[in-house]
Amino acid sequence: MMQRREFNKMLALAAASAAVRANAQSPARVAPAPAGDGIAWDKAPCRFCGTGCHVRVGVKNGRVVAIEGDQLADVNKGLLCVKGYHVGLALYGKDRLTQPLLRRNGVLEPISWEEAIETIAQKVMAAPAQFAIYGSGQWTIPEGYAANKFIKGGLSSNHIDPNARLCMASAVTGFLSVYGVDEPAGCYDDLDKCDVLLMWGNNMAEMHPVLFSRVIDRRTRGEKVTLIDLGTRRTRTTEFCDHYLEFRPNSDLAIMNGIAHLLIKKNTFDPKFVEKFCNFRQAPKDPAASPAAPLLGDPMSFAEYKAALEPYTPEHVEKLSGVPAEKIRLLGDLFANKDIRITSTWCMGFNQHTRGTNANRLCHGIHLLSGHFGRPGDAPTSLTGQPSACGTAREVGTLCHFLPGGRLILNAEHRKETEKLWNLPEGRINPKIGHHTVLMWEKFCTPADKGGDIRTLWVQVTNPGQSLPNLNKLFKAKAGQPEKFLIVSDVYRTATTELADLVLPSAMWVEKNGMYGNSERRTQQWFRMVKPPGDARDDAWQMIAVARKLHDLGHAGMKDKDGRFLFALKNDKGEEVPVWEWPRYYDINVDKVLFEEYRAFSRYKHKDLAPYDVYVKSRGLRWPVVQQPDGTWRETKFRFSEFDDPYVKKGAEIQFYHSVTKDDKALIWFAPAERAPEEPDAEFPFWLCTGRVLEHWHTGSMTRRVPQLHAAMPHAYVEMHPEDARERGFANGETIVVKTRRGELKLPVWVDGRGHPPRGSLFIPFFDERLMCNDLTIDAVDPISKEPDYKKCAATVARAAATP
Amino acid sequence: MSDALSRRGFFAAFSTPFARKVEAVPQPVARPAAGSAEAKVAVVQGRFCLALTSFCSVCIERCPVPGAMKKERGVPMVVADVCTGCGVCREVCPAPRNAVLMLPRRPSTRRHSV
Ligand code: SF4
Ligand code: SF4
Ligand code: SF4
């Protein structure tokens, strides 16, 4: 429709805006503060998305009064997106939680912190094995580390999983099964260097706006970069793209197989790269053979790989995906061209997919097969949604099967190392993996006599009451089960606190010290700049206070093998500080002590972290951060590439030094195109996709309280194709009912709005707690990553009045 | 596009109680005569607009008057002849320094129709 026209306009903008920008006062400088006005400035990463921009935070009289983009930050070079400019206001919603609340007779009533900590400790003590922690990719690194140590090292339980399971788990299993180690090899610099950017189901203009600005800015400077959007609906990103390839939901697998097919058929793959650096893999015949079997796969020869791809001719792929064969050829030709550099990015489009692991693998596969890997601009790179999905969930290993630094629960050697680093008696760490997110909530919502083996669940820094899929089954079913006890640490009331039995008021962002790790392996640090409101306290303090209470109640696990408390933290003089007493918590920098302890875990998988104080002075550093002979610390931009990664052997060119096959080679996987778990039929004729919008961050608990962001995007809606609306006689803005097998939702229809779904397809954003699209979504998960599929299920629509 | 699918209804529904019927959506009010005390027209100040360095399309999405705003080189522009001066675009603009100015509408020599 309009994208061609818009695109041309953008080219015009390219010419005009360079000049404008040179003269204009950039919005980055919001009300620049004159000197001597009493505003103190400090740096912090933005609280919101995984892009990880840095802001300068201006504080006056104990309040955050100004936010600027940080010119010194590599990620954003002074620029922010609409959310970032308002990040300071996220602290000042009128209804901040300021005291602990306990539900009595259905009503949340104020209690003291002592009572609150005692209550949790008693619940844990009563049934430690039935206690679980549901954490977050918004936990700071030290917070996640404390929670992980508390439950895995202290309670000998692995029932801890972060919300990152809902967003990055498939990327993790993808990286692990291809390179043997998690997280992207490349970084954002690839976006500055690529000739072609493929965005796979990735609406970068809305979800990683500052990154997309970086790309669009290249056009502004007159550079040529070809943007290709592969998706299931037109988005704001599409408007800027040279090509838009719209595919049938789930058929991204077929498209990537189509590219590989062409590379092989036309002999345009990179035989030298493949020979030197790759092995081939397919799904194991017996995935149940061992817990690692699905990740390791079965070897296959090149001939077998070739044969498996045989059916994926451009014409066949067109039939499966709806993408014209000539466009598949266009992609094949791009990958065949070694003179250009190709970066692929993806986010939830791949990950939230019942074949999410396979989608990730195939994308790495086409880059490896074609040799579009390991040069700046040639990279397959996943983008995270949360500010510390990488730093806290993945690197600290707060997932139910991980230990810190890329170690695994199932590996006896890894458990032993962890016990040693934590100074625990041998065998303290439970060898059985815990419940992953969907299972954890299912068990929590199931009565004990029916096998529901989680009784007490502590949620920190996340809002599962809105963000879990199929909410009626996985969250709302908790209601009316008095033996189930839900603890929620948060800063505002949310859909989750609605069912909470105990609510703990937390400090947020610059109200506490913190560290995050963004999408490009960048570890970031900030200091507390203002005090939290009322009696709100740090999440890590809450965890340590409960651990101490358990210690005092005689729980043996709270002591290490020398009888010392797990969180016996010392000051510079070597004296123990009772940090579990809140007034003493900031006597030392708990973040620094915990981070230095955690840092020892980071070497094993070459995710080397620098000392805390190095991060204090930087705007984040990308691991591995390695000390130079002159004592300085050097970050790594391009992993596995000899020219930049210090761990690659001289002369190796590329070395996958954590190779699954232990021969320094990566794995190219074959995976077949498969159908979605639920597809439209006569009764439910529409595809339903869910996702985010630019103005709101995830469930909107922070951004909906920022007046400017709320005014800009006040209400959820359902996007629909105009023809579909016209056929049913829906007016734009009319309230309709969207129904799936799991629930229904009344909301206004938006035709020709921001996004343009194709015929037979709907989109609903998930930020609005009044209109929760997760009443509708399915809870089917990827069998390997256990990540749910929020991007497709079958739905129907009706006039609101027509339903009783 | 049929009238029922015009952009008008959708945004009216946003700012009114949720289950409002489509018939009840108020139409934009007639604008005061040019030169009268209340007559206003919106102007987007490009240099404060987020669409310039980042991404934003809120005013265009929410302007209730078809044709009153268009995109010019990626940045929204007000078509003064069509703008009713309702001020929605200013209200919803999320830029750190509001990018929309509401200026008094001066009688224009070019627009004899008003
Ligand atoms: S792009 Fe993400 S990190 Fe950057 S300012 Fe926007 S929300 Fe914050
Ligand atoms: S003042 Fe009203 S009519 Fe004029 S451009 Fe703004 S929203 Fe549209
Ligand atoms: S709402 Fe404001 S910032 Fe957004 S595009 Fe319009 S004028 Fe620019």
Q: pLDDT tens-digit profile of A652-711? A: 999 999 999 999 999 999 999 999 999 999 999 999 999 999 999 999 999 999 999 999
Report the alpha-carbon distance of residue A296 to residue A377 in Å, rounded. Answer: 29
Residues A108, A79 share a domain: no
**Does the active-site annotation cover A83?**
yes
Domain identity same for A452 and A567: yes
Q: In the structure, what pLDDT confidence band is assigned to residue A635 with cuts at 50, 70 and 90?
A: very high
Can you tell me the distance from the alpha carbon of A259 to that of A268, in angstroms, rounded to the nearest whole number? 11
∠ CA(A372), CA(A373), CA(A378), 5° rounding? 70
**Contact call for residues A719 and A732 (beta carbons, < 8 A):** no
Of A588, A622, A649, the last residue of a domain is A588
Q: Is the pLDDT of residue A413 over 90?
A: yes
Domain that holds residue B41: 35-107
DSSP at B32: P
Cross-strand partners of A558? none
Task: Please report whether residue B113 resides in a domain.
Answer: no
How many domains does chain B divide into? 1
Residues of the domain holding A487: 101-162+408-588
Q: Does A77 lie in the same domain as A30?
A: yes
Interface size A-B, in CB pairs within 8 Å, comes to 144
Q: Are the C-beta atoms of residues A620 and A633 closer than 8 Å to each other?
A: no
- Grade residue B74 by pLDDT with cuts at 50, 70 and 90: confident
- Tell me, yes or no, whether A117 and A233 share the same domain: no
* Mean pLDDT to the nearest integer, A172-188: 95
Considering the domain architecture, whether residues A143 and A190 belong to the same structural domain is answered as no
Whole-number Å distance, alpha carbon B49 to ligand 3 midpoint, is 5
pLDDT at residue B34, as a whole number? 55
Taking phi first (over 0 means left), then psi (-120 to 50 degrees means alpha), and beta for anything else, what does residue A711 get? Answer: alpha
* Alpha carbon of A713 to ligand 2 centroid (Å): 17
Asked whether residue A633 is assigned to any structural domain, the reply reads: no
pLDDT in tens, A416-425: 999 999 999 9
In a domain, B71, yes or no: yes
In chain B, which residue ranges form alpha helices assigned H by DSSP?
A: 7-14, 50-53, 58-62, 88-92
Give the A window 14-43 contacts with B, CB below 8 Å.
16-17, 20-21, 23-28, 30-31
Q: Which two tokens stand for residue A184?
A: 């992207």
**Distant-in-sequence, close-in-space partners of A33: CB < 8 Å, separation ≥ 6:** A39, A41, A58, A66
- A8 pLDDT higher than 80: no
Rounded to an integer, what distance in angstroms lies between the CA atom of residue A690 and that of residue A693?
10
Average pLDDT over residues B2-24: 42
Average pLDDT in chain A: 93
ipTM of the modeled complex: 0.88
Nearest partner of A335 among A313, A358, A367, A375, judged by Cα? A367
**Is the CB of residue B32 less than 8 Å from the CB of residue A756?**
no
For the segment A454-506, what is each residue's pLDDT rounded down to a tens digit?
999 999 999 999 999 999 999 999 999 999 999 999 999 999 999 999 999 99
In this prediction, residue B12 carries a pLDDT of 52
Exactly one of A385, A397, A434, A743 is catalytic; name it.
A385
Can you tell me the mean pLDDT for A269-283?
96
Confidence of residue B107 (pLDDT cuts 50, 70, 90): low
For residue A419, the surrounding DSSP H or E stretch is helix A412-421
Residue A89 reports pLDDT greater than 70: yes
pLDDT at res. A291: 84
Answer whether A713 touches B (CB < 8 Å): yes
Residue A290 lies in a domain: yes
Question: Would residue B9 count as lying in a domain?
Answer: no
Q: Tokens 């998960």 label which residue? A: A781
Residue B80 forms part of a structural domain: yes
Q: Output A768 or A21, whichever has higher pLDDT.
A: A768
Dump pLDDT digits (tens) for A371-380.
999 999 999 9
pLDDT band at A15 (very low <50, low <70, confident <90, very high): very low
d(CA A184, CA A178): 11
CATH number of the domain residue A320 falls in: 3.40.228.10
A197-251 pLDDT, tens per residue? 999 999 999 999 999 999 999 998 999 999 999 999 999 999 999 999 999 999 9
pLDDT band at A292 (very low <50, low <70, confident <90, very high): confident
Q: Is residue B50 in a domain? A: yes
pLDDT for B15:
46
The closest alpha carbon to A498, from A536, A526, A459, belongs to A459
Which CATH number fits the domain that encloses residue B45?
3.30.70.20
- Residues 6 or more apart whose CB falls under 8 angstroms from that of A463 comprise A490, A494, A495, A496, A698, A699, A701
**Residues from chain A contacting residue B87 (CB–CB below 8 Å):** none
Assess if residue A604 is contained within a domain.
Answer: no
The length of chain B in residues reads 114
The answer for A 205-264 residues in CB contact with B (under 8 A) is 205-206, 209-210, 212-213, 236
Chain B positions touching A733 (Cβ under 8 A) are: 8-14, 22, 25
Question: Are A440 and A371 within one domain?
Answer: no
| Chain-centroid distance, C-alpha A93 | 25
d(Cα A659, Cα A725) in Å, to the nearest integer? 52
The whole-angstrom separation of Cα A733 and Cα B4 is 9
Q: What is the DSSP letter of A570?
A: B
Instruction: Give domain status of residue A490, yes or no.
Output: yes
- Counted domains in chain A: 4
CATH number of residue A739's parent domain: 2.40.40.20
Average of per-residue pLDDT values in chain B: 74
Are the C-beta atoms of residues A307 and A694 closer than 8 Å to each other? no
Task: Evaluate if residue B35 carries a pLDDT over 70.
Answer: no
What is the model's pLDDT at position B6?
A: 54
Name every residue whose Cβ is closer than 8 Å to that of residue A138 and which is 6 or more positions away in sequence. A47, A386, A387, A388, A392, A461, A462
- Domain membership of residue A612 (yes or no) is no
Whole-number pLDDT of residue B33 = 58
Domain CATH number, residue A504: 3.40.50.740
Q: Provide φ and ψ at A381, rounded to 5°.
A: -130, 125
pLDDT given at position B10? 55
pLDDT, mean of residues A108-131: 98
Chain A CB contacts of B12 under 8 Å are: 733
Q: Which parts of A291-445 are beta strand (E)? A: 298-300, 342-346, 379-382, 402-403, 407-408
Q: Which of A3, A21, A82 to mutate to test the interface with B (most CBs of B within 10 A)?
A: A82
- Check residue A121 and give its pLDDT: 98
Position A399 in a domain:
no
Question: Is residue B8 domain-resident?
Answer: no
Largest Cα separation within chain A, whole Å, is 75
Residue A654 lies inside a defined structural domain of this protein:
no
Of A368, A367, A9, A50, nearest in space to A196 by CA? A367
Of the residues A383, A398, A416, which one is the last residue of a structural domain? Answer: A383
Which residues, 6 or more positions from A581, have their beta carbon under 8 angstroms from its beta carbon?
none
Shared-domain flag, residues A271 and A244: yes
Average pLDDT on A259-269 reads: 97
The pLDDT score that the predictor gives to residue A35 is 56
Evaluated on CA atoms A300, A306, A310, A312, the torsion sign reads: positive
Query: Do A117 and A55 share a domain, yes or no?
Result: no
Quote the DSSP letter at residue A56.
E
Nearest to A111 by CA among A120, A672, A548, A74: A120
Do A81 and A178 lie in a common domain?
A: no
Residue closest via CA to ligand 3's atom 4 equals B56
Half-sphere exposure of A133 (CA within 13 A, CB side): 34
Residues A366, A490 share a domain: no
One-letter amino acid for residue A639 of the chain: R
Beta-carbon separation of A82 and B7 below 8 A: no
- Position A774 in a domain: yes
| B2 in any annotated domain | no
How many helices and strands, by DSSP H and E, does chain B display?
4, 4
Residue B51 belongs to some domain of the structure: yes
